[in-house]
Chain A
């Protein structure tokens, strides 16, 4: 391969949110978010109810920002149907006509885009999502994963610069999931601007180079996955341990630097572990050495919500 200094400029699209807020009555769904989504795959990560769909709908022109602006390549997205020449949208809602076959559905998408040879485009898109074999069946006979794939095909039929996917991997079996992840990655590598939302860190990690974290409507963190992962696992973890001798166990745990606080409660020992991996290997060792039976070890803040709120407290600190 040779390197040239004068590379032909390839067309890249950028979705830009500037101080975007959205509220419903008194409820703020998205609060003052500024982010730029450029070429490559970006994962929009956050717990359920964080405002991911709201944000995605504003990028897709299906919701007006209450404040701030959402633009595609500098052009306003809201009430501008021309942006759909560049955007492919895969909504989370089912959103398919069950009485059409997969072929008819994707072909209708190609025709609605006014493509010069809609049948070729539809065939190509169905091929891309490996739905050619089932294309002549009606969509109502499809599994959830298959429906998801024809939706992706319909969104890709005009070869869009920007692809927006709302929780695209939900309801897919593992094989379909891996296949779609591969596809999304490839499209990103080809220079398309892709944003997908998810509440599962592992999913985002596997596909996205860039991660934007949204918590309770706020833009909590932004970076590549290593950065986000480090921030998430570095946080103190809370555990509740029930054993045959809570007091002795508590004394032994606090003696080690992996725990920063230990308290005895009616429900057992509550431990704040500052070094996650050291604590998790230490606990069974201590129990064995002291002859204490462990009845229950449960993380008390392992849910995404608390992981994310930790991120928020970090980012605003």
Chain B
């Protein structure tokens, strides 16, 4: 880890308008929970649906995309990354630091807002709040790593990320059972399911598969991103 790289990356992510991108969805989640609470019928089932569909199903991949690509892709695009790469610092260390920033942002904005929203709805009933926030935490970390890799691999990171989140996880994962075991969203849900005792929550993927898969994907994405950064080429305008 490199403190200077982390400092610059945090400033880039939080110092300007991009913080609103990160804050918007969590604010919407908490807002929805508050609204449900106000109008009176928050029950465990509603809470689980909100967590499944919105928190883990929508907000988390988008936050992962914003943070994961945001820590590196714009810098590669406009060439500022050279400032960091033209220094005697190992490139994998730079990648790891950028990932840590992205992961911490997804954790704070994703997992914390998930906990707050669930707790607002049903307190700690059946461990739903704990389960989903922990699921969001681990899922968010994996998303951050994968989307940072995408940001290093292609200049169309956001497009690729949106296609992955919408088409793969949303559509294919919804209809093709086998694809579900290769979905970060399902892994996050599997963690939530294990911790929560709620009967409304079920998961297709076993924890024994989800946790190792998450670790492998995260570590693999980081190693790949670090290596890819070592060979980052500038083509110039010629």
Contact = CB atoms under 8 A, between A and B. Distances in A.
Interface string A66-98: 000000000000010111110101011111110
Interface string B27-54: 0000000000000000000000000000
The residue in B79, B86, B232 that gathers the most chain A C-beta atoms within 10 A of its C-beta is B86
A85 B91 CA distance: 14
Interface in B191-238: 230-238
A84 B85 CA distance: 9
A97 B83 contact: yes
B171 interface: no
Contact of A60 (B12, B79, B86, B90): B86
B82 interface: yes
B176 interface: no
Interface of B: prevailing SS: loop
Given A81-B89, A99-B15, A111-B4, A53 B236 contact: yes
A99 B237 contact: no
A33 interface: no
A24 B234 CA distance: 12
A100 interface: yes
A133 interface: no
Nearest to A111: B4
Contact of A95 (B7, B15, B78): B78
Contact of A109 (B87, B230, B238): B87
A53 B78 contact: no
Interface in B1-23: 2-5, 7-8, 11-12, 15-16
A63 B233 CA distance: 5
Nearest to A107: B4
A112 B4 contact: yes
B24 interface: no
Nearest to B11: A99
Contacts, number: 96
A29 interface: yes
Interface string B59-93: 00000000000000000001110111111111100
A97 B88 CA distance: 19
A291 interface: no
Interface string A6-32: 000000000000000000100001000
A50 to B, nearest CB: 8
Interface residues of B, number: 32
Contact of A87 (B86, B89, B230): B86
Given A57-B234, A100-B11, A111-B4, A95 B88 contact: no
Nearest to A108: B4
Nearest to B75: A97
A219 to B, nearest CB: 16
A7 B86 CA distance: 33
Contacts of A95: 78-80, 82-83
B88 A114 contact: yes
B87 A92 contact: no
B12 A29 contact: no
A32 B91 CA distance: 29
Contacts of A91: 79, 82, 234
Contacts of B233: 57, 62-64
Contacts of A50: 238
A96 B236 contact: no
A63 B15 CA distance: 32
Nearest to A96: B80
Interface string A92-126: 11111101100001001101111000000000000
Given A60-B86, A84-B86, A94-B78, 4 more contacts: A63-B234, A82-B88, A95-B80, A112-B89
Interface of B: 2-5, 7-8, 11-12, 15-16, 78-80, 82-91, 230-238
29 contacts: A29-B238, A49-B238, A52-B238, A54-B235, A57-B234, A62-B85, A62-B232, A63-B235, A81-B89, A84-B88, A85-B88, A89-B86, A91-B82, A92-B236, A93-B79, A95-B82, A97-B11, A97-B83, A99-B11, A99-B15, A108-B7, A108-B8, A112-B2, A112-B84, A112-B87, A112-B89, A113-B87, A113-B88, A155-B86
A-B CB proximity, top 4 nearest: A93-B79, A53-B236, A112-B87, A62-B234
